[in-house]
Amino acid sequence: MSKRWEVRLIGTGGQGIVTASIILAVAALREGNNVVQSQNYGPEVRGGYSTAYVIASESSILYPKIDRPNVLLVMTSTDYEKYLRDIDDNGMLIMNGEPGPEKVPDNVYFIPITNIAHDEVERPITANIVCVGAVVGLTGMVSEAAALAAVEEHVPAKAVKINRRAFILGVRAAREALAKREASATS
Amino acid sequence: MSKRWEVRLIGTGGQGIVTASIILAVAALREGNNVVQSQNYGPEVRGGYSTAYVIASESSILYPKIDRPNVLLVMTSTDYEKYLRDIDDNGMLIMNGEPGPEKVPDNVYFIPITNIAHDEVERPITANIVCVGAVVGLTGMVSEAAALAAVEEHVPAKAVKINRRAFILGVRAAREALAKREASATS
Amino acid sequence: MAEAKLLSGNDACVQGALAAGVRFFAGYPITPSTEIANAFARELPGRGGIFMQMEDEIASMGAIIGASCTGTKAVTATSGPGFSLMQENIGYAAVAEIPCVIINVMRYGPSTGLPTSPSQGDFMQTRWGPHGDHPVIVIAPYTAREAYRETGRAVNLSERYRVPVIVLMDEILGHLRERVEFRDEDLVQEINRKGPDPDSTFLPYEYTEDGVPPFANFGTGYRYHITGLIHDETGFPTNNPVEVDRIMRRVNEKIELHRRDIARTQFVEVDDADILVVAFGSVARSAHEAVRTLRQEGKAVGMVRPVTVWPFPDEDIRKAAAGKKAVIVPEMNLGQMVREVERVVAGTVPVHALNRIDGLLITPQEMRDLIEDIQ
Amino acid sequence: MAEAKLLSGNDACVQGALAAGVRFFAGYPITPSTEIANAFARELPGRGGIFMQMEDEIASMGAIIGASCTGTKAVTATSGPGFSLMQENIGYAAVAEIPCVIINVMRYGPSTGLPTSPSQGDFMQTRWGPHGDHPVIVIAPYTAREAYRETGRAVNLSERYRVPVIVLMDEILGHLRERVEFRDEDLVQEINRKGPDPDSTFLPYEYTEDGVPPFANFGTGYRYHITGLIHDETGFPTNNPVEVDRIMRRVNEKIELHRRDIARTQFVEVDDADILVVAFGSVARSAHEAVRTLRQEGKAVGMVRPVTVWPFPDEDIRKAAAGKKAVIVPEMNLGQMVREVERVVAGTVPVHALNRIDGLLITPQEMRDLIEDIQ
Amino acid sequence: MGELHEKYLRMNKMPHIWCAGCGNGIIMGAFITAIDRLGYDKDEVAAVSGIGCSGRITGYLDFNTIHTTHGRALAFATGIKLTKPRLKVFVFMGDGDAVAIGGNHLIHACRRNLDMTAVIFNNHIYGMTGGQFSPTTFKNKSATTAPYGTTDPDFDIAQLCIGAGATYVARGTSYHARLLTDLIVKGAEHPGFSVIEVITHCPVNFGRRNNFESPAQMLLWQKEHGVAARKAKAMPLEDMEGKFTIGELYRSTEIPEYLEEYGRVIQAANEEKQP
Amino acid sequence: MGELHEKYLRMNKMPHIWCAGCGNGIIMGAFITAIDRLGYDKDEVAAVSGIGCSGRITGYLDFNTIHTTHGRALAFATGIKLTKPRLKVFVFMGDGDAVAIGGNHLIHACRRNLDMTAVIFNNHIYGMTGGQFSPTTFKNKSATTAPYGTTDPDFDIAQLCIGAGATYVARGTSYHARLLTDLIVKGAEHPGFSVIEVITHCPVNFGRRNNFESPAQMLLWQKEHGVAARKAKAMPLEDMEGKFTIGELYRSTEIPEYLEEYGRVIQAANEEKQP
Amino acid sequence: MGKKRFNVTVDRTICKACGICVAFCPMSVFTTDHDDKAVVSAPERCTGCRQCELLCPDFCITVVQVEETADG
Amino acid sequence: MGKKRFNVTVDRTICKACGICVAFCPMSVFTTDHDDKAVVSAPERCTGCRQCELLCPDFCITVVQVEETADG
Ligand SMILES: Cc1ncc(C[n+]2csc(CCOP(=O)(O)OP(=O)(O)O)c2C)c(N)n1
Ligand SMILES: Cc1ncc(C[n+]2csc(CCOP(=O)(O)OP(=O)(O)O)c2C)c(N)n1
Ligand code: SF4
Ligand code: SF4
Ligand code: SF4
Ligand code: SF4
Ligand code: SF4
Ligand code: SF4
Ligand SMILES: [Mg+2]
Ligand SMILES: [Mg+2]
């Protein structure tokens, strides 16, 4: 890991966003990085949206907040334009869903996370793990092996298999998106 | 009133010492003086001894405490020697009771306050008013009229008469003590 | 009220509060403040008011805030242990901007301490007791007459600025009785909180020029919301950083904005003094006495007495101390106000603390001794 | 404990406390400290300890004092509103000299405030919250690793000096998880309170050389009395001025006497700096970051961070500030620690406050901007 | 939403922020229905709440509303009622709010008998802080502070209030919404302090952790475990095992209302004034 | 003083500072008699008190003693008992201490059922602060904060405790000193939390103000108004008017003792540790 | 007597998909959509008991009586 | 049966003159002195009921059985 990763995930309470961010943090930590992970809640722990983030870096992390992340994943909306200004100039934006007909900027990726969890994993609750897969697949911020190990550690013992599947499907979707982007770039 | 009067009364809880000091204070106030009156209690308002004091002066009274009073009246003991060092160099000490056989210093007066209340007024509860009379009679710090008016104001309506009597008996005892002292001084 | 009377500090507070229109008292007994409750119990019911003995000090503080919501001027009185328990709700009154007055008759702490001994150990607590930044006004009278006037003023300031105001007494002042003869300037004027303007929409936490929003008393046709959560000008919770910053600055800064009206400082022979004593409350009586006698002996000593102790009179002290040989700060604690004086004079004048924590009042003689030592 | 783990600030406190031998926790849930209660609930029962959820924070504080009387190391955790409620009993622990630890994970106040937003608004309250003069030790870690170590140290200091120790966290540190890899110096050593000397008569509040009396745990054959009234060395109440003065000076001064052991201050590139930042807690993370990047740019900026925030490191700050062009004090409040810094530098160096009260952390960039402005 | 909602709720604050399926919304509905039935003028109603999910209700109700500190709602309400007795005062509290930190204020309110109505949202958990057990959590339940299951005995709020001298005590549920409205109406009309405990449900912080698959299941539990007080009397004790009574549980008019009685103090004071 | 006093009291603190005729001394005598009968080792007894005249008792008892803050004695005691269960813990409180400021801790102690014994000195007044009315002061009494007579309704402490779930509740008086000793013994032996309310008298701050000419008269009042619980059951209700029951009022063994039950938590935690 | 008919509507924008109406409508008037939100699938079965209205925590449901048919 | 005799003593130094023993001794064993303190005036009447011991708030009274006379 050569750069400082600042990854933010936006979801609604109960979507497992916090766990996803912890999994990313643990994976990065296992690979020898410094990490800081945290989250914001709505009023006390009630309703509304929640955001979680991870900072990972080889050097020590003092300032524990993210101002403009270099990776932003949005579970709750497909309106990517609203979020473009929130990310770092070289940042990547990952939206949950299918892109519209219009041309999408190069740094924006659409991954149908909920759909994958719903239709392919057949367990909507695993959306957050699909999400981990997508981030890892798109960014390579941690190795897939490290990420998978972290996933297995953070899900209930009896749900390891299904979550492994969710992760792999997330990674695969990411790879496909990358390939498509590359294709469209070269075309 | 030309001097600054600092009068302290020592008694036990329930002897009406505080009321006595308030009466002296009100009398002095009515005569146009500045006054400060206060008291100490034992632990919270419980048991033990209590002391009350009055400062009266024509000029304004800032420091509200008495270090060495110029009048000290002790209801609880006849051991005057113990108290001599507590008073001002020109101070007067008034003890409740009869003097012993030995010669008593000039500034020490014995007034049998409790006995007067018990035997002459026949109301032990009026001892504190006898005490007011004694102080007024011995010191002249306020006029007897002002003191009597203050007494009448501070006792229950139905007990005015008996307290008036107590006051007068206190004054009388004081006069007698003064006369005796003068006699012995001239003899 | 021209006739001279013998009035205790505690009773004077009650009289001052009543004169300023207080009609509700809720409290829980505690030495040495109990006489205040006793007097309110006697005085209020015959004046259309209510005296309420609550189950504890937390409830007492809650009840006076509730009473104030209906537009009733409300007071509680307590001492250290009870005052400590009131902090959370004092913070509530501060942030929700509910007028109310808390009389703290200081006794020796911490904990049960010495219940009948005086102290000035709560000086800093009156400023910093509740969690979080909050506005405060604290007034410390030093005579019964001033207890009357300043308690009345406390009620008025709380109404005018929608802020809890603390009257900081101590056992000595609370329990002593002294001659009080009210003059015209002592007469407490009743000041009422500003109400909503009937011609415009009511915004419960509106940004007005004076930094103080209008208050709609409950039951007068304005249905709005009061909360201890940080709220916007509508009174509803917000965590929008811009709104949060804006309202909390206003709430805190309104005190500074009105410092001239809120502050009261007494200067005694300060101008030509070499040595300055800074003292408050009962200790200032000793200090004043020491100044008086030293002046009689031709010594150039003066005194500054913060009557309003919070906001601390930074400028008054700074100016008074300028060019003096030394500043002396006597306190019945281990040195609390002296920290403020040190901060304010910022090294320009040597500052000497004179502290007593044996439960007794510092005497004028002690101050004289220290002054002689310094000279 | 050598393996790196992801640990939250709140969990780190729990781990540190357990390592120092804590076997009792009593608390009442409150955001953002609740995870501490949750973790103790899981960890204690399997280690011979007891987790107790009390009816409120007052009871929680009472219960940990009671537990400490039997010799059990005891902790509670809370945030602003609960911390305000604990003040009376914290004063009790201070004057009765009962070891215990209170973790305050600061949130935005006053009152309910912004329950999930960080703040440093309780800085002064940790020093002055209870009525009356009282000793305090307050430690403010800035990383999870330090939260572990300093909570352990807090337990030890409370045992060694018989004083309540406050661990002052904030929402940011409490809720973030970060890499923690314990080194040897982090290992918490268990320190136990000094017991009675079996060869001499036990005096519960004996004047010893180190100013700390021996503690006899309840049920070990010493039948003595503990009270929150001012007591003499036998432990029984006294109001003898000489005794009162003596014991209360000892109780308060023992902190100063052991300052060297209690104090911990971090100095970051201070010596050759022109500009000094003084910061604590999470804000110090931003400050440290700012110093790091400014140094990379060749700017002579340094930082002093009080780890032990109370007693305030007067000397450390004074020395560090000497000769600097300016001192900057960034805080997530309206300016609390800055008052201490001003007092201490006493006008020798200009002091700039940088305050944020919108519920967000001050950024390194803001500090850089201010520093550039000053230069 | 219907007319009732538009009349009594602050529509610009809707939808409320309570979680999906949370009982609080149902109780709020039952409450405004009661107010409508009582015919109170909105300007003359004061709603007071403590801190907790339940405490949020005052933000939505279009009355004179105040959201106080945790556990202290009744103290604030006491000050309001005493100084403007004309106001109809309703106090909303959670179980933690009312009987953990606020227990003392509750029992003293019961004792005093000042004419106010307390509605206690008993969801058997600290909802807002994320699922710690409360003094009403049953045994063997899971909570964040009871990872091994709860062992603390729980309060019977109604019994507690009766023991404290309350003059009107009722228990409803969020499931029995019509009954709840009735009980609130009766409580409000009772001259003196009235307590309505509402057995309700927190699907997020209680249900999920305790094997309730859905909010509906939790309502079902209420339906199956709530037994009408009258019916319960006729039932053998064993059949009531694990169940609870609902309806009016206690009512007495022996103790006069607080302010009525305080009138004697005022009278005595006034008499003393004229010599 | 006799052997008993010398054995259990700190003789260097005698005579105590309670006022002439105060009931507190009588209760202290009954208490040490109970301890003697129970045969407890002095080193193994912890006595905890709050603030008030009654709270002073711990200064005189020769055990492990702690005089806590006003109203909080039970909270401190809970910490002591939980961490050294071997100790026999007794908690002394005044009426203000126990049911005004301390009411919440009392009801929670009743609910939890931790094995301690609370002795409440109910003299129907705040003694120490000089005679303000308390939550147990009857109507129409005079107090410094009730110059026109009290109008607040009063708590029945025993009913309050029963409502809160207490498993042992008894009431004695300072007059019935032998009975009081019995009740303390039984309370101490009860496995769980026990409350003994003691109707006692404050001649100085209650008696004087309320037409009791002497302490003896106040004891007489207790004698005449305290009716044995068993006898009361057989009496027509009218005859009990203004009277109160004494003796054991409630006892149940249905609810397990707190620490016993907590053992389940410990067991579960230990089981989880060994996989 | 005439059979009453009711118009049942769900405000989908505020429905939180809690499933309560689905579970408690005695006539199974509701089903759920892909987001688990309530859908009025069989309004004709509605008897106007208003259980759904009373139990919907989000006040999404309105039941209005439409007409009275006289074919009884 | 033999009639028991008792030695009743009052510790005058600690007696607070409350009058309780005087009022409650069923045999009127006590009277008061000029300070209202208790005086054992008729010890021979004592039946050893110990009411005085139990009710004296200041633990001033001791009742000790002396001897058993056989003149019954
Ligand atoms: C003094 C204080 N302590 C703790 C808290 C934190 N807190 C907020 S709500 C709550 C309890 C919530 O439970 P409950 O009262 O049952 O309400 P619910 O959320 O379940 O409706 C707590 C402990 C607080 N706000 N103030
Ligand atoms: C927090 C707090 N509030 C108030 C007090 C003052 N105070 C001391 S004792 C007491 C009440 C005494 O009454 P009670 O508990 O009945 O005891 P008693 O003196 O009658 O035995 C009070 C209010 C205190 N010490 N602490
Ligand atoms: S946490 Fe529970 S009580 Fe709170 S809103 Fe959600 S479901 Fe309702
Ligand atoms: S004031 Fe009353 S309770 Fe206190 S010691 Fe005196 S008589 Fe007893
Ligand atoms: S009113 Fe009754 S029948 Fe009609 S939809 Fe609602 S619950 Fe179903
Ligand atoms: S009950 Fe209301 S919120 Fe729940 S599913 Fe039905 S319509 Fe939606
Ligand atoms: S033992 Fe009985 S009879 Fe004898 S003196 Fe005492 S009270 Fe009287
Ligand atoms: S009962 Fe005791 S204190 Fe009272 S008069 Fe008799 S001997 Fe004296
Ligand atoms: Mg709840
Ligand atoms: Mg009492």
pLDDT tens per residue across span E113-156: 999 999 999 999 999 999 999 999 999 999 999 999 999 999 99
- Give the nearest partner residue to C94 out of D110, D252, D356, using CB atoms: D110
User: Do A44 and E129 count as a contact with CB atoms less than 8 A apart?
Assistant: yes
Find residue D268's DSSP bridge partners.
Answer: D303
The token pair that represents D331 in the structure block: 């805080």
Interface test with H, best of F12, F214, F218, F223 (most H CBs within 10 A): F214
Query: What is the per-residue pLDDT across E194-227, written as a single tens digit (0 to 9) for each?
Result: 999 999 999 999 999 999 999 999 999 999 999 9
D323 touches D335 (CB < 8 A): no
Q: Is the pLDDT of residue B43 over 50?
A: no
Q: Which of D123-137, D173-187, E24-38, G50-64 has the lowest mean pLDDT?
A: D173-187
Which chain C residues are closer than 8 Å to F146 by Cβ? 41
What pLDDT does D184 receive? 81
Q: For residue B41, what pLDDT is reported?
A: 67
Taking CA atoms, E197 is separated from E21, E125, E190, E244, E246, in Å, by 19, 14, 15, 12, 9
In a domain, G70, yes or no: no
The identity of residue E263, as a single letter, is G
Q: Pick the range with the lowest mean pLDDT from B41-45, B66-70, D240-244, F89-93.
A: B41-45
Give pLDDT, residue F269.
97
Q: Atom 4 (ligand 6): residue with closest C-alpha?
A: G18
Look at residues E56, E16, E122 and name the one whose alpha carbon lies nearest to residue E47. Answer: E56
Q: Which domain holds residue A24?
A: 5-186
Which segments in chain C show pLDDT lower than 70? 1-2
Cα(F204) to centroid(ligand 4), Å:
6
Mean pLDDT over residues D236-240, rounded?
Answer: 96
Q: Does C237 touch chain A (CB under 8 A)?
A: yes
Lowest mean pLDDT among A142-146, B96-100, C205-209, E39-43: B96-100
Ligand positioned closest to the Cα atom of B47: 4
Rounded CA gap, C268 and C301, in Å?
9
Domains of chain E and CATH, by start = 3-273 (3.40.50.970)
Residue whose token pair is 């003796």: F247
Asked if G61 and G21 touch (Cβ cutoff 8 Å), the reply is yes
Structure confidence at residue B53 (pLDDT): 97
3-state secondary structure of F147: coil
DSSP string, C14-29: HHHHHHTTEEEEEE--
Which chain A residues are closer than 8 Å to E204 by Cβ? 14
Structure confidence at residue B77 (pLDDT): 85
Residue C312 CB-half CA count within 13 A: 21
Residue pair D101/D75 in contact (Cβ under 8 Å)? The answer is yes
Which tokens belong to D212?
Answer: 């700390």
Residue H70 — very low, low, confident or very high, per pLDDT cuts 50/70/90? low
Which amino acid is it at F74? Answer: L
Site to probe by mutation for ligand 7, drawn from H3, H25, H64 as the one with most ligand atoms within 8 Å of Cβ, is H25
The residues that bridge with D7 in the sheet, in sequence order, are D178
The answer as to whether H57 is a domain residue is yes
Sheet-wide strand order for C351-355? C265-268, C301-306, C275-278, C326-331, C351-355
Report the residue of C3, C5, C6, C8 to disrupt the B interface, i.e. the one with the largest count of B CBs within 10 Å.
C6
| φ and ψ of D250, to 5 deg | -60, -50
Instruction: Provide the b/e sequence for H18-27 (b: ≥16 CB within 10 Å).
Output: bbbbbbbbeb
Banded model confidence at residue A46, pLDDT cuts 50, 70, 90 = very low
Q: d(Cα D26, Cα F76) in Å, to the nearest integer?
A: 11
CA-proximal residue: ligand 8, atom 8 (nearest):
H15
Q: How far apart are CA E13 and CA A164, in angstroms?
A: 42
CB atoms within 10 A of CB A102: 6
Number of C-beta neighbours around residue B12 at 10 A: 13
Q: Strand C164-170 vs strand C137-139: parallel, antiparallel, or unpaired?
A: parallel
- What is the average per-residue pLDDT within D115-140? 97
What average pLDDT does chain B have?
Answer: 91
- Cα–Cα distance, C34 to C49 (Å, whole number): 19
Q: Write phi, then psi, for C93 (nearest 5 degrees).
A: -60, -35
Do chain D and G touch: 3 or more Cβ pairs under 8 angstroms? no
What residues in C contact B63, CB-CB < 8 Å?
Answer: 285-286, 289, 361, 363-364
Tokens of D292: 């790091």
**pLDDT score of A41:** 67
pLDDT in tens, F112-155: 999 999 999 999 999 999 999 999 999 999 999 999 999 999 99
Residue entry with tokens 């309050």: F160
Provide the shortest C-alpha distance from residue C21 to chain E (in Å): 14
Contact by Cβ (8 Å): D78, D84: no
The 10 Å Cβ neighbour count of residue B64 is 23
Confidence of residue B44 (pLDDT cuts 50, 70, 90): very low
* Angle, in degrees to the nearest 10, between helices D364-374 and D281-296: 60
pTM of model > 0.95: yes
Pairing of strands A49-57, A5-12: antiparallel
Tell me, using a 6 A CB cutoff, whether residue F94 lines ligand 2: yes
Residue of F nearest to C45 (CA): F148
Q: Which ligand does the CA of C116 lie closest to? A: 2
ipTM entry: 0.97
Contact status, residue C103 vs residue C75, Cβ threshold 8 Å: yes
Residue D137 has pLDDT above 60, yes or no: yes
* Average pLDDT over all residues of chain D: 97
| Cα maximum dimension of chain D | 66
- Please give the structure tokens belonging to residue D226: 């503990």
According to the model, what pLDDT value does residue B182 have?
A: 85
* Average pLDDT, integer, range B81-86: 92
Which pLDDT belongs to residue C33? 98
Average pLDDT over residues A138-164: 96
How many domains is chain G partitioned into structurally?
1
What pLDDT, in 10s, does the model give residues E160-201? 999 999 999 999 999 999 999 999 999 999 999 999 999 999
Find, among D194, D197, D201, D110, the residue nearest to D156 by Cα.
Answer: D194
- Bridge partners of F171, per DSSP, are F197, F247
Q: How far is E119 from chain G (nearest CA, A)?
A: 17
Position B181 scores a pLDDT of: 86
Residues A140-149: what's their mean pLDDT? 97
For residue F141, the Cα-to-chain-centroid distance in whole angstroms is: 23
φ and ψ at E45, to 5 degrees?
-110, 135
pLDDT of amino acid B137: 97
Give the amino acid at E153: P
* Vertex B72: Cα angle to B70 and B74 (nearest 5): 175
The pLDDT of residue B94:
97
pLDDT digits (tens, 9 = 90+) for A3-12: 899 999 999 7
Which residues in chain A are contacts of D179 at CB distance < 8 A? 29, 33-36
Contact state of E17 with A47 under an 8 Å Cβ cutoff: yes
Would you give the DSSP letter of residue E81? H
In the predicted model, is pLDDT for residue D246 greater than 60? yes
Which run of H or E residues covers position E272?
helix E258-273
User: Can you tell me the distance from the alpha carbon of F9 to that of F31, in angstroms, rounded to the nearest whole number?
Assistant: 11
Which helix H or strand E contains H32, and what residues bound it? Answer: strand H30-32
**Residue whose tokens read 């500054």:** C304
- Between B and C, how many residue pairs show a Cβ–Cβ distance under 8 A? 61
Q: Phi and psi (nearest 5°) for D58?
A: -65, -45
If one counts the domains in chain A, the total is: 1
What chain D holds in terms of domains, given with CATH numbers, is 3-186 (3.40.50.970), 266-374 (3.40.50.920)
pLDDT at position F248: 98
- What the block records as the tokens of F170 is 């008894």
Cβ contact, residue pair G57, E219, below 8 Å: no
Residue D196 has a pLDDT of 97
Give which of C56, E253, D326, A154 is closest to F72, Cα–Cα. Answer: C56
- What does the pLDDT read at residue G72? 44
Residue A162 has pLDDT above 90, yes or no: yes
> CB of A115 within 8 Å of any CB in chain D?
no
pLDDT at D1: 45
Which residue range(s) make up the domain with G54?
A: 6-65
G52 found inside a domain: yes
- Of the candidates E18, E129, E130, the beta carbon closest to that of A47 is on E18
E18: chain G residues, CB-CB within 8 Å: 57
Q: Where are the alpha helices (DSSP H) in chain C?
A: 9-19, 34-43, 57-69, 80-96, 123-128, 144-161, 171-175, 241-257, 259-262, 281-296, 314-321, 337-345, 364-374
Residue A27 has pLDDT above 70, yes or no: yes
Residue H44 CA to ligand 7 center (angstroms) comes to 10
**Closest approach of chain D CAs to the CA of B44, in angstroms?**
11
Residues of chain A with Cβ-Cβ distance to C237 below 8 Å are: 43
d(CA B141, CA B30): 12
With a CB cutoff of 8 Å and minimum separation 6, the contacts of E141 are E124, E133, E149, E150, E206, E209, E210
- The Å distance, Cα H17 to ligand 8 centre, comes to 5
Cα D195–Cα D197–Cα D202 angle in degrees, nearest 5 = 90
Q: A12: CA distance to ligand 3 center in Å?
A: 15
Q: What is the CATH number of the domain that holds G57?
A: 3.30.70.20
Structure confidence at residue E167 (pLDDT)? 98
DSSP E193-219: -EEEEEE---IIIIIGGGT--SHHHHH
| Domain of residue A82, CATH code | 3.40.920.10
H/E stretch holding B171: helix B160-186
Question: Above 50 in pLDDT, residue D161?
Answer: yes
∠ Cα A77 A78 A81 (to 5°)? 105
Question: Alpha carbon of E129 to those of E101, E132, F177: distances in Å?
Answer: 14, 7, 49
Please work out whether the CB of residue G21 comes within 6 Å of at least one atom of ligand 6. Answer: yes
How big is the CA angle at F181 (ends F176 and F187), to the nearest 5 degrees?
120
Which ligand is closest in space to the CA of residue H8?
A: 7
Provide mean pLDDT across the span D48-73: 98
Q: How confident is the model at residue D262 (pLDDT cuts 50, 70, 90)?
A: very high
Report whether D67 contacts D110 (CB < 8 A). no
Average model confidence (pLDDT) for chain C? 97
Burial class (CB in 10 A: 0-12, 13-18, 19+), F169: buried
Report the C-alpha gap between D27 and D239 in whole angstroms: 34
- Each residue's pLDDT tens digit, F24-63: 999 999 999 999 999 999 999 999 999 999 999 999 999 9
Tell me the nearest-neighbour CA distance from E182 into chain G, angstroms: 13
pLDDT at A98 over 80: yes
* Cis peptide preceding C204, ω within 30 of 0: no
Alpha carbons F64 and F44: distance in angstroms, whole number: 8
Residue D76 has pLDDT above 80, yes or no: yes
Examine residue H71 and state whether it is found in any structural domain, yes or no: no
Q: Which residues of D touch E132 (CB under 8 A)?
A: 29, 34, 37-38, 53
